[in-house]
Amino acid sequence: MIPVRTLAIGALLALAVLSGTAGARAAPANAYSAGHGDIVVRYDPVAAQFAVTIDIVNGTVNGVSGVSVILSPADVNVILRATKTRPNDAPSFAFAPIGVGIGEPYYAMPQSNSEATALGVPWLGLRHESPTGTFVSNTIQIRLTGVSPPGGSPGDFSLWSFSGFTPVFHMASSNGITSADVLGLPIGHDHFNLGLAPASTAGLWTLSFEASGQRAAGGTITQPFQIFITTTSAAAAVPALPVPQSYALALLLVLAGSLSFGAAAIGQSRT
């Protein structure tokens, strides 16, 4: 018979693990791991508001290739397995906003389709759709408002393009999130370089943004949204979801029953 003390310790350990997972945010159900996609900000002139979706075109979703689908960002788990290293950019240190030192790795989603394909990561861009003339200069702004690395670990997000060979950072949390972390997005779509650092911080990242636009007729339209990215090693499988609370409850009931059984058995042995 397993001693009651051993059962009790096991129950407490299980409770501690389940308490941790119960509070953790589960990864969205649809794992998007390759192919073309866009974070789309669409303006609905009838409702006078933005709608944000992730439009995947011929991508890989849940291990199935050739998928074209429009999903809510809350339902998409962007899988990012590839890493790159910060180049030796002395003396300009132009890549410092990524948040790692020279020669250190970070998770990368490149601006180039060919490079994204070679690295085996999604080619995820940004798209703005609205009737011409709706917004001043036909442009809206995408602002970074928050970065939540996995498990509360330190980590930074950055987004940049290039002017020649020089990186131009539009967003970087490594020096604090400010009003300068903003990207102007005209009608149409574009792709950018994305970095999550350091490469040792694997798991589910939550990136928070706000889309805003100054209407030519007056007034500002805003819409917050979040993007979820899971960073993992190339050899690792897509992470499993945390134990559902119903399973957790069932496990606790089993453990509680074991404790009761053990206690009863000891009581009988003493009589």
pLDDT at position 84:
97
In 98-156, which residue ranges form alpha helices assigned H by DSSP? Answer: 113-119
Token pair for residue 142? Answer: 């995408």
pLDDT at position 234:
53
At 91 the three-state DSSP class reads coil
Residue 13 included in any domain: no
Residue 99 included in any domain: yes
Spatial contact of 157 and 60, defined as CB atoms under 8 Å apart: no
**Per-residue CA distances from 26 to 141, 199, 230 (Å):** 29, 21, 11
Could you list the beta-strand ranges (E) of the chain. 30-44, 49-61, 64-71, 76-80, 83-85, 105-109, 122-129, 139-148, 156-163, 166-172, 182-186, 188-191, 193-197, 203-214, 220-231
pLDDT at position 247:
33
Residue 7 included in any domain: no
Spatial contact of 213 and 141, defined as CB atoms under 8 Å apart: yes
Residue 100 included in any domain: yes
Residue 142 included in any domain: yes
Sign of the torsion angle spanned by Cα atoms 43, 48, 52, 58: negative
Token pair for residue 6? Answer: 């051993």
pLDDT at position 26:
87
Longest dimension (CA), the chain: 88
Residue 251 included in any domain: no
Token pair for residue 110? Answer: 């490149």
Residue 110 included in any domain: yes
β pairing state of 193-197 and 105-109: antiparallel
What domain count does the chain have?
1
Residue 21 included in any domain: no
Mean pLDDT per 10-residue interval, the chain, length 271 residues: 39 35 72 98 97 98 98 98 96 97 97 97 98 98 98 95 96 97 98 97 96 97 98 53 36 39 42 43
Interatomic CA distance for residues 152 and 154, integer angstroms: 7
Q: What pTM was computed for the model? A: 0.78
- Full domain range(s) for residue 154: 26-231
Spatial contact of 14 and 255, defined as CB atoms under 8 Å apart: yes
